[in-house]
Amino acid sequence: MRLHDFRALSFDCYGTLIDWESGIFTALQPLLARSGQSLSRDAALETFAQHESAQEEETPALVYAELLATVHRRLAKAWNVTVSESDHARFGASVPDWPAFPDSPAALAYLKQHYRLVILSNVDRESFKGSNRRLGVEFDAIYTAQDIGSYKPNPRNFDYMLTHTAARGIAKTDILHTAQSLFHDHGPAKKFGLASAWIDRRHDQSGWGATMAPPKEAGYDFRFPSLAAMADAHRAEVSAT
């Protein structure tokens, strides 16, 4: 299996293209400061992951900005902090402020020359617009949790993407699903028979950060420490042919 065997890359965005862990941790600072918690970055992110995952299962149709505000409310309760509704809403609206990984724009610009690019993301359309401006590339298709009415790893999200990409003439065998989260993406991708590339952004860290631990059946076909490394691997393949 080679990278240039594929015609399209379907991307998770947050954790893969956008540094959501830095964005989340920065946006949590006011709440953490009021709580007096001396949590490490990873401990705070792991607590976020537990509440976010639970909330996505409980309210799959809730728009992500509102879901984040609800998660912030849950964290405030867990950490025994009283804050205003505007504080919860501010956290919910923080997605456009989350930074892109430094390599994402250039790597995407290169990959755009060789693939059709698709987003499959646990986000709402308005929040993604802010992130897209940071990435600086025009995606061929954007499928959000708001469009689908559920959150990954729900299989509905992958079924929706595959149905819509097929309508665009892109077969499942044409797609390489490219993502950081083994929990949200690589587990369900394998069940659907999708080839996948793990962008292991946490390769130099322990634990799972802002995502839940992956299922045992999660697998992948390629592994890269960054999107830049994936683009470099593609260049090497092309130069070798």
Structure tokens given for 224? 């890269």
Tokens 């006011």 locate to 30
DSSP-derived 3-state class of residue 201: coil
Bridge partners, 176 (sequence order): 9, 195
Instruction: Tell me what pLDDT residue 112 has.
Output: 98
Instruction: Tell me what pLDDT residue 215 has.
Output: 86
d(CA 187, CA 43): 24
Domains and CATH numbers, the chain: 3-19+99-240 (3.40.50.1000), 21-97 (1.10.150.750)
d(CA 212, CA 98): 20
Instruction: Tell me what pLDDT residue 38 has.
Output: 83
10-residue averages of pLDDT along the chain (241 residues): 96 98 97 90 97 98 98 97 96 98 98 98 97 97 98 98 97 98 96 97 94 89 98 93 76
| 113 alpha-carbon distance from chain centroid | 22
Pick the catalytic residue: 12, 19, 87, 185?
A: 12
> Global pTM?
0.95
Q: Is position 12 annotated as part of the catalytic site?
A: yes
Instruction: Tell me what pLDDT residue 7 has.
Output: 97
Pairing verdict, β 8-11 and 175-179: parallel
Helix (H) or strand (E) holding 175: strand 175-179
Instruction: Tell me what pLDDT residue 108 has.
Output: 98
Is 221 within 8 Å of 195 (Cβ atoms)?
Answer: yes
Angle between helices 104-112 and 125-135 (to 10 degrees): 90
Instruction: Tell me what pLDDT residue 99 has.
Output: 98
| 116 alpha-carbon distance from chain centroid | 18
Structure tokens given for 51? 């509440």
d(CA 18, CA 98): 7
CA-based nearest residue to 140, from 119, 157, 161, 154: 119
CA-based nearest residue to 124, from 59, 181, 79: 59
d(CA 117, CA 54): 30
